[in-house]
Amino acid sequence: MGNVVQLPTGKALTVQLAADRYLDALGNPNTARNYAIGISKTVERVGPNRPLETVAADEIGQALEELWGGAAVNTWNARRASVQSWLTWCRDRGYSGPAVPAWTKRLTPPDSETPARSKSEIDRLIGRRDIGLREKTLWRMLYETAARSDEILALNIEDLDFAGRRCQVKAKGAKAKTRRRGETRGDFVLETVYWDAGTARLLPRLLKDRSRGPVFTGHRKAGPGKVVSGRDVCPDTGLARLSYGQARALLDEATAATGPGTGWDLHEYRHSSLTHLGERGASLLMLMAKSRHKKPENVRKYFKPSPEAIAELTSLLAPGNAQR
């Protein structure tokens, strides 16, 4: 059990101190890092040395509007959510302070604008001679499994079923398994994803003689000051797992058209995979099985048929057996 820290009360609890205590209390370092972006900028805007109880809710709302009022919907929602979580945490512990005002509402995200790349574009990119084997394998696996990037990056060699060309992943929102009497177990309900010949050819070349540890690793060992779990380090080479940020940067570098940040996104492989399956006649139920979505409306945003596919479909409506 961790140490219980008594927060100071009244005027001694400054905005900065409240933020620091909240971020320190978050168990997941990735969550803490992401939340710190919105919280730190908000703290700076309202005044880090002010007593938290003197800050009004409208000041929080004004800070959010000034900082991210013109940002993308997902960015606004993410920053607003981090600040709201922080202030709710403070109130739940009995500390006087503001709340996120009702007029700074969460916005409904628009339909996904992630593009679907053509199969020829994907094959051409992966076939380039200047692309490393690790990247080729990752991108081919993302495309053939239609899995989320973090699911594939989290795989270890022990998770792979080479003969069956499949593996089990911890999916987004995975629930912990429960025992008969309701006690929570340490493991999670896993879901199966499948790959095909392209990935099957590349994986053995990538792994060589390795039989354990992360499938995808970086080129460096974990630094001495970085806390990394045993699962995230190859026991044979000492190399740390390839992070999402590193993988995203590698794809962007390989596909950028007009400078950093203009290349492809890892999520485009999932969109492209489902779009191509849909164009080839896969039913909605089969697309849901492949993507592992539970609701049909959630699959719709991933299916973006090309103009050529729609034109070919329209040709079925031609009168008689008209030759085109």
Catalytic residues: 148, 177, 267, 270, 293, 302
**Cα(286)–Cα(301) distance, rounded to whole angstroms?**
15
- Three-class SS state of 161: strand
Please provide the distance, in angstroms rounded to a whole number, between the alpha carbons at the two ends of the chain. 73
Contact indicator for 118, 134 with CB cutoff of 8 Å? no
- Among 133, 147, 141, 160, which Cα is nearest to 217's? 133
Encoding tokens for residue 249?
């940067």
Q: Torsion angle of alpha carbons 111, 115, 119, 120, nearest 10°?
A: 160
- Among 160, 1, 158, 21, which Cα is nearest to 92's? 21
Encoding tokens for residue 254?
């390989």
- Three-class SS state of 163: coil
Map tokens 């409208």 to a residue.
58
Contact indicator for 199, 164 with CB cutoff of 8 Å? no
Cα→Cα distances 92→22, 27, 95, 96, 197, Å: 12, 17, 7, 10, 53
**Cα(311)–Cα(307) distance, rounded to whole angstroms?**
6
Q: What angle do CA 143, 145, 149 make, to 5 degrees?
A: 70
**Cα(153)–Cα(146) distance, rounded to whole angstroms?**
13
